[in-house]
């Protein structure tokens, strides 16, 4: 490891010396922008009859091969790669010597010349001018093999993307997924809005918030854990179909499925219910896959997933039976305590439906591969959702699971201000007992409900996890450009 570090330091010093010497010769090492005539992919479309014209491109050197009085080198831009040829002659002595002595693998340059085909029929630029645009001072990994160190990939994403096309393509796909989501929602008459990132009271989810000090107001604010309560205020105000795609912040642990800063889509629809919302989410995901892959079949890790089939809708008990081999008798109200005890699940002071849900989290959640909408959530873990009209112990709520991950959460929004007030009070009691994730009492939100929130369904979709599945990424860090990392 020490030899490798020394090699990097030596290379760094060598490249700095080259930059200094090149400057002394009167050349810029970090240039202003220079207008190029074409991108590389455009050059490759030029007809043979136009080869004698002079073309110019900008890109990074990814290979350099000297053959006596000639040099072949390859440059790359964001559209492709192309070979260039530089021959030493009376007109190009200075250009040739400068390129040979001062230009390195990784340098970003301007190349000008005509085109020709080599004996192997490779399109090549016959170089007559080269300008240094930005000197690369560090030895960088080989462009063909990429980075082997996973820590470096995450900490230096710019380097990962620079040398590894697959990484760049993944984030291009991520951008397109968000674009397709916006298009789908806009076509369905939703209005995109922006709500505050700094909240005087954290709300909209059960999670531990980040706290920051607002100096001008001399008070603490919280980075938002969810935009939900603000978006529902907008529905009260007459914006009956709204959505927001933006960051949430939750002061929680790191894992391959969790990042404290993450991207969430939330949308709300007046006069619709959670069953309609499930249909909507299902159609949204299919729309993304068709536009991105032209297929409803994808591979995630070792699993082939068919999104053309209707997504299953199962309650918690049905999931336990289907995915974890429990039987009806073990899960009935008479025997549920014994079942929990047998599997070391805490059942004291929990409702029947909460016990079922705890069993689900332990034994079934990670076994769900193809899309499943889980329904019939215990009401005590759904403080913002309406009760089921036929059973007050469960919420009119769903969560979508794919490949063992929760992708989406949605429910009929609680619009009774008195019921919501009592739910907030229950959350405050839990907070007083030490639950750092329990909600605060939001009196302004209660006041908004008192003006009348229409019957409403709301949905949240975790963008990062959805991108993980669509791009076959094992870790959430693979789909976040700059994930949270421990300081070194």
Looking at the structure, tell me whether residues 171 and 110 fall in a common domain. Answer: no
Percent over 90 (pLDDT), the chain: 91
**Crossing angle (nearest 10°) for helices 443-450 and 228-236:** 30
Quick one: pLDDT band at residue 138, thresholds 50, 70, 90?
very high
Element counts in the chain: helices (H) and strands (E): 15, 18
Q: Give the phi and the psi of residue 119 in degrees, each rounded to 5.
A: -60, -25
Mean pLDDT of 48-62: 97
Indicate the pLDDT class of residue 143, thresholds 50, 70 and 90.
Answer: low
Confidence at 5, pLDDT banded by 50, 70, 90: low
**E strand or H helix at 241:** strand 241-249
The pLDDT, as a whole number, for residue 6 is: 65
Same domain, 285 and 402: yes
Domain annotation covers residue 339: no
Question: What's the pLDDT band for 179 if we cut at 50, 70, 90?
Answer: very high
| Phi then psi dihedrals of residue 48, to 5 deg | -55, -35
What is the arithmetic mean of pLDDT over 157-181?
95
pLDDT of residue 3: 59
pLDDT of residue 91: 82
- How buried is residue 487: exposed, middle or buried, by Cβ count under 10 Å (0-12/13-18/19+)? exposed
131 & 168 share domain: no
**Across 419-432, average pLDDT:** 94
* Cα–Cα distance for residue pair 480/381, rounded to 1 Å: 29
pLDDT (0 to 100) of residue 246: 97
Residue 92: inside a domain: yes
Contacts of 99 (CB under 8 A, 6+ apart): 71, 73, 86, 130
Beta bridge partners of 468: none
Give me the helix-helix angle, 2-24 and 93-102, nearest 10°.
150
Whether 148 is covered by a domain: the verdict is no
CATH of the domain at 72: 2.40.50.140
Average pLDDT of the residues of the chain: 95
Domain boundary among 140, 171, 187: 140
* Residues in the chain, overall count: 488
Q: How far does the chain reach from its first CA to its final CA, in angstroms? A: 17
Q: Compute the average pLDDT of residues 161-171.
A: 92
Q: Which two tokens stand for residue 437?
A: 């994730």
Task: Identify the domain boundary among 140, 174, 190.
Answer: 140
The domain spanning residue 464 has which CATH number? 3.30.930.10
Q: Are residues 124 and 196 in the same domain?
A: no
- Could you tell me if 133 and 175 lie in one domain? no
Token representation of residue 392 = 């007050």
Q: Are 189 and 282 in a shared domain?
A: yes
Q: Please give the tally of structural domains in the chain.
A: 2
Torsion angle, CA of 222/460/411/431, rounded to 10 degrees?
Answer: -20
Residue 271 lies in a domain: yes
Tell whether the model's pLDDT for residue 125 goes beyond 90.
yes
pLDDT at 140: 86
Instruction: Tell me the two tokens of residue 14.
Output: 């060598």
Q: Angle 37-41-46 (CA atoms, 0-180°, nearest 5)?
A: 70
Asked if the structure places residue 95 within a domain, the reply is yes
Residue 350 has pLDDT above 70, yes or no: yes
Q: Are strands 108-117 and 123-134 parallel, antiparallel or unpaired?
A: antiparallel
Q: Are residues 407 and 441 in the same domain?
A: yes
Task: Count other Cβ atoms within 10 Å, centred on residue 486.
Answer: 7
Rounded distance, CA 402 to CA 15, Å?
49
- Record the tokens describing residue 270, joined without a space: 């007046």
Confidence of residue 118 (pLDDT cuts 50, 70, 90): very high
* Whether pLDDT at 2 is above 60: no
**Block residue for tokens 């591969």:** 369
Cβ proximity of 367 and 306 under 8 Å: no
Question: What integer pLDDT is reported at residue 48 of this predicted model?
Answer: 94
| Spatial distance between the Cα atoms of 29 and 179, rounded to a whole number of angstroms | 38
Using pLDDT thresholds of 50, 70 and 90, give the confidence band for residue 229: very high
Q: How far is residue 377's CA from residue 395's CA, in Å, rounded to a whole number?
A: 5
Q: Which of 140, 175, 201 is the last residue of a domain?
A: 140
The answer to whether residue 413 sits within a structural domain is yes
Is 136 found in the same domain as 191?
no
Considering the domain architecture, whether residues 56 and 90 belong to the same structural domain is answered as yes
Is 243 inside any structural domain? yes
| Angstrom distance (rounded) from CA 51 to CA 81 | 18
Domain identity same for 126 and 71? yes
Question: Predicted confidence band at 277 (pLDDT cuts at 50, 70, 90)?
Answer: very high
In a domain, 375, yes or no: yes
Q: Are residues 88 and 166 in the same domain?
A: no
On whether both 114 and 169 belong to a single domain, the answer is no
The residue segments making up the domain with residue 75 are: 2-140
Whole-angstrom distance, CA of residue 398 vs CA of residue 164:
39
Cα separation, 470 vs 483, whole angstroms:
19
Give the helix ranges, DSSP H, for 202-260. 228-236
Determine what percent of the chain is predicted with pLDDT higher than 70: 98
Alpha carbons 59 and 40: distance in angstroms, whole number:
9
Which pLDDT score is estimated for 146? 67
Closest to 464 (Cα-Cα) out of 380, 387, 405 = 405
Q: Among residues 411, 408, 410, which one has the least CA distance to residue 386?
A: 411
């Amino acid at each position: 490891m020490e030899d490798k570090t020394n090699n990097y330091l030596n290379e760094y010093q060598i490249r700095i010396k080259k930059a200094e010497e090149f400057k002394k010769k009167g050349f810029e090492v970090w240039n202003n922008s220079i207008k190029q005539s074409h991108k590389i992919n455009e050059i490759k479309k030029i007809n043979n009859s136009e080869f004698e014209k002079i073309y110019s491109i900008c890109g990074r050197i990814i290979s350099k091969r000297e053959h006596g009085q000639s040099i072949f080198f390859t440059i790359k831009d964001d559209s492709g790669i192309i070979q260039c040829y530089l021959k030493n002659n009376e007109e190009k002595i200075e250009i040739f010597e400068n390129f040979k002595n001062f230009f390195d693998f990784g340098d970003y340059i301007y190349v000008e010349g005509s085109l020709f085909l080599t004996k192997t029929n490779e399109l090549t630029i016959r170089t007559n001018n080269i300008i240094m645009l930005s000197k690369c001072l560090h030895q960088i990994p080989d462009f063909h093999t990429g980075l082997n160190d996973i820590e470096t990939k995450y900490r230096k994403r710019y380097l990962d993307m620079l040398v590894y096309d697959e990484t760049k393509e993944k984030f291009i796909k991520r951008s397109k997924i968000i674009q397709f989501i916006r298009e789908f929602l806009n076509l369905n008459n939703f209005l995109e809005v922006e709500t505050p990132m700094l909240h005087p009271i954290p709300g909209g989810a059960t999670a531990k918030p980040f706290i920051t000090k607002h100096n001008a107001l001399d008070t603490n604010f919280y980075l938002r854990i969810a935009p939900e309560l603000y978006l529902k205020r907008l529905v009260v105000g007459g914006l009956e179909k709204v959505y927001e795609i933006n960051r949430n912040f939750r002061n929680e642990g790191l894992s391959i499925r969790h990042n404290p800063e993450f991207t969430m889509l939330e949308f709300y629809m007046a006069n619709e219910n959670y069953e309609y919302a499930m249909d909507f989410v299902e159609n949204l995901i299919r729309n993304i896959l068709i536009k991105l892959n032209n297929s409803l079949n994808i591979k995630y890790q070792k699993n082939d997933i068919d999104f053309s089939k209707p997504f299953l809708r199962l309650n918690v008990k049905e999931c336990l039976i289907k995915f974890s081999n429990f039987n009806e008798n073990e899960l009935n109200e008479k025997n549920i305590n014994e079942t929990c005890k047998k599997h070391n699940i805490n059942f004291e002071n929990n409702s029947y439906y909460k016990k079922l849900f705890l069993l689900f989290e332990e034994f079934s959640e990670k076994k769900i591969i193809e899309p499943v909408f889980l329904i019939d959530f215990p009401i005590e873990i759904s403080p913002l959702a309406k009760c089921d009209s036929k059973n007050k112990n469960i919420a009119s709520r769903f969560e979508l699971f794919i490949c063992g991950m929760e992708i989406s959460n949605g429910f009929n929004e609680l619009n009774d201000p008195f019921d919501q007030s009592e739910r907030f009070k229950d959350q405050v009691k839990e907070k007083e007992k030490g639950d750092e994730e329990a909600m605060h009492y939001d009196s302004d939100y209660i006041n908004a409900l008192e003006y009348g929130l229409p019957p409403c369904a709301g949905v949240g979709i975790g963008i990062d996890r959805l991108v993980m599945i669509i791009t076959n990424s094992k870790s959430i860090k693979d789909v976040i450009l700059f994930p949270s990392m421990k300081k070194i």
